[in-house]
Amino acid sequence: MSTATNNTDAPTLDKLIESEPALPASAQKHPELITAAEHLLQSELFKAETLIREVLKKDPGDVSAIRMLADLGTRLNRFDDAKLLLERCLQLAPDFHLARQNYASVLMRSQKLEQALTEAETLLAIEPNNANYLLLKATILVRMGEHLAALPIYEQVFKQYPHQAKAQLSYGHILKTLGRVDEAVAAYRKVITLRPALGEVYWSLANLKTFRFTDDDIATMREQVTEEGGNAEDQSHLAFALGKALEDKKDFNESFKFYQRGNNIRSIGHPYSPEKNMHNAVRQIHSCTQPFFEQRKGLGCSAKDPIFIVGLPRAGSTLLEQILASHSQVEGTAELPDIIAMARRLAGKLKNKPAGLYPEVLAELAPEQFKALGESYLKSTQIQRNDTLYFIDKMPNNFMHIGLIHLILPNAKIIDARRHPMAGCFASYKQLFAQGQTFTYKLEDLGHYYRNYVNVMDHWEKVLPGRVLRVQYEDMVADSETQIRRLLAYCGLPFEEQCLRFYETDRAIRTPSSEQVRQPIFKEGLEQWRNYEAHLQPLKQALGPMLERYPI
């Protein structure tokens, strides 16, 4: 994943005159770059790359071409390649401000947040009122968890550009994260007046979970739905929002049609391979055996700081994080991408082995490398932390990497947030994730993914008995105090009364469940899937034997 599961990460303005053109004067020398730029706008990446590389063959120092090639790399999530290209570009043209802006963005997306902030500050020192640079800084601050520091930057931009819908949308996301719900709703309402066809704003309201649409809201959304055509992102957001609105109205059949429509639209542009997921699970099981771990006992970094919460999305991980973060010794952070990024680096890039070397490569690492990797993780996540003894990494997809976590951080705590498969899978199906989690777009894929998840977790319990604490969501709802005491005991934390009143905390929460976990635990969500049971036969069939372990 990166499973960043909410959408507070990308504040942008709709239309601003850039302080520097995307194609400087050198485009006159190589007019094919103009055509390449048009291909990039149309997401015709292969055509764009061909033209850009032809220019660079003739003129290797053309900074416009280098920057555009970096842009292409960023679109393909090749951040290391893009970073190197932009560094070369800035060596050749230090005053190429658009390249520096791109460089800051790539650094941010590579989790090099302090460096990214430095680059943004460099740009602002030149143009203090440049709205694009201000929003870049605000985005980086949000990634760093500095939401309060980002708010006045938005307010400064709005003085110059009060009618920017997407900036208002991002402003609303931050207010939501901070728990300022009424202000968030007001910001979202303003977006609707500015751009009523922007689907994301309706989903942002629905994603508050506690918000209820009026009949007029629903009518407005229906007006934006197209029979065919239309912007795919807008249409998918509208569909999920209407699904939620109609669910609240208890019109479950039409609600399901909209959830299905939203997922169908998303699946077109976000492919998922169940075969690859199964292959990855099998590789973990075959590589990370009990003898493998016994031979490497005592290795890794001895730090006890991290508490990992893994599992499937919508399984109660945010609730567990909120409970633990209410403790005086624990800090909640976010769904950190660092472990997944480390696994990708270990996998490497091999043309003759596109699946990469991970996890098999773990067997080839020298003993001291495990400690170095653990220290590297602590260093890269430091920017997300303050001065508490422990911090939480709640990236759910880390369940696939528990073997790696155990080897590099043998004293870290790992918690498996588990939920009934029907409830958990359907909750994911009706949740529009900002990125990642592409397995959620089809009921069949969800069922098979859940089975792979449970098989992998069964394996970790077999080869590392007692290493992971499983917390069943239904048990937490039924007897929260017992489960909270059990959770704290596993983490080696003394009991603190405020953990029972986790909903009173005012910390920023960066996931879709943010408003739900600011309330006491409620039982209503346990059986919501039953309202849609007539539509869920494909999920039941895919889950197969899992339903024997979790009877319905």
pLDDT value at residue 27: 57
- Residue 96 clears pLDDT 60, i.e. is over it: yes
Q: Mean pLDDT over residues 526-549, rounded?
A: 94
Tokens read off for 542: 């895919």
Domains of the chain by residue range: 300-502+511-549
pTM summary value? 0.84
Burial 182-202 (b: 16+ CB within 10 A, else e): ebbbebbebbbebbebbbbbb
pLDDT tens per residue across span 144-192: 889 999 999 999 999 999 999 999 999 999 999 888 999 999 999 999 9
State percent of the chain over pLDDT 90.
77
From CA 289, how far away is CA 277, in angstroms rounded? Answer: 19
Q: Which of 538, 401, 357, 289 is nearest to 1 (CA)?
A: 401
Residue recorded with tokens 């309402």: 189
Q: Mean pLDDT over residues 248-257, rounded?
A: 97
**All residues at 6 or more sequence positions from 33 whose CB lies less than 8 Å from its CB, including other chains:** 23, 26, 27, 51, 52, 55, 62, 64, 65, 68
Domain 300-502+511-549 fold is Rossmann fold (3.40.50)
410 contacts 336 by C-beta, under 8 angstroms: no
pLDDT value at residue 179: 86
From CA 390, how far away is CA 213, in angstroms rounded? Answer: 39
pLDDT value at residue 509: 54
Question: How many CA atoms, within 13 angstroms, populate the side-chain half-sphere of residue 198?
Answer: 20
539 sits in which H/E element: helix 537-543
- Residue 513 clears pLDDT 70, i.e. is over it: no
Confidence of residue 2 (pLDDT cuts 50, 70, 90): very low
Question: How many CA atoms, within 13 angstroms, populate the side-chain half-sphere of residue 100?
Answer: 25
Tokens read off for 337: 């991408």
Tokens read off for 167: 């900036």
Q: Which of 312, 344, 497 is nearest to 421 (CA)?
A: 312
From CA 58, how far away is CA 56, in angstroms rounded? Answer: 5
Q: Which of 34, 14, 35 is nearest to 25 (CA)?
A: 34
pLDDT value at residue 507: 52
pLDDT tens per residue across span 451-500: 999 999 999 999 999 999 999 999 999 999 999 999 999 999 999 999 99
Q: Which of 240, 243, 241 is nearest to 266 (CA)?
A: 240
